[in-house]
A and B are shown apart, each in its own frame.
Chain A
Amino acid sequence: GAVVSQHPSRVICKSGTSVKIECRSLDFQATTMFWYRQFPKKSLMLMATSNEGSKATYEQGVEKDKFLINHASLTLSTLTVTSAHPEDSSFYICSAFHGAGNTIYFGEGSWLTVV
């Protein structure tokens, strides 16, 4: 079946550096992907909609200069957390829209720890 892979699953970075998380659709083309952030025991908060070949659409309150999203190919979207701070530490999860099945598939998620 359709699979979405997210990498890395865990990353630790130093405060002030940037870190990139990849979301890849393995066996289908995804023109639309979504990035979520999730705090412990909380719901998934949509950060942005990633559109292949165009700019991402950010949700209100999400800093687009801090959370850079690039969707340069039909199978890959990346989320770059720039100038990371400890408060950016969180679980980030992506999903991809599979048009043929009209279905959403989730990646495994990425734990980001900023020290």
Chain B
Amino acid sequence: AQTVTQSQPEMSVQEAETVTLSCTYDTSESDYYLFWYKQPPSRQMILVIRQEAYKQQNATENRFSVNFQKAAKSFSLKISDSQLGDAAMYFCAYRSPLGGANSKLTFGKGITLSVRP
């Protein structure tokens, strides 16, 4: 079974600074998808970024980028130029590239990010 580990329960960053959220995972599969989701106080799950394991290039979405280290099974999220609106709970997640019932997401425990003005 796949597992996702987020060992830091909380982090804090100064506005406009950069912060990195850590995530490790365990799987015996060679192909898979990894995600970072943001969950603000509204509880809506917002997809931040997605990485396909077969792609060597790290995914980037504006101020958000990942450091995907497949051999080390590490998938960290870097938030640059942090904004107050980035304050939320962030979840790292794993899923199979297969569809249907195989598409279920496995989540880490999450990390609460606060942004200091």
Residues in chain A within 8 A of chain B (CB atoms): 31-32, 34, 38, 41-44, 46, 49, 51, 57, 91, 93, 95, 97, 99, 102, 104, 106, 108-109
- For the complex, would chain B's binding face be called helix, strand, loop or mixed by DSSP majority? loop
- If A91-B43, A108-B44 touch, does A42 touch B104 (CB 8 Å cutoff)? no
Q: Which of A32, A102, A104 has the most CB of B within 10 A?
A: A104
A72 to chain B, nearest CB (A): 17
Interface: B103 (CB within 8 A): yes
A-B pair number, CB within 8 angstroms: 52
- CA of A43 to CA of B91, assembled, Å: 8
Among residues of B, the one whose C-beta sits closest to the C-beta of A31 is B100
Q: Which of the candidate stretches B20-28, B71-79, B105-113 sits at the interface with the other chain?
A: B105-113
Complex contact A99–B99 (CB within 8 A): yes
Interface size range of chain B in the complex: 10 to 19
Interface: B45 (CB within 8 A): yes
Residues in chain A near residue B99, CB distance under 8 A: 32, 97, 99, 102
Interface string of B73-97 (1 = CB under 8 A from A): 0000000000000000101000101
Complex contact A41–B101 (CB within 8 A): no
Residues in chain A near residue B89, CB distance under 8 A: 41
Given A38-B43, A43-B107, A104-B103, 13 additional A-B pairs, CB 8 A:
A31-B100, A32-B100, A32-B101, A34-B104, A41-B112, A44-B45, A44-B105, A44-B107, A95-B105, A102-B103, A104-B95, A106-B45, A108-B43
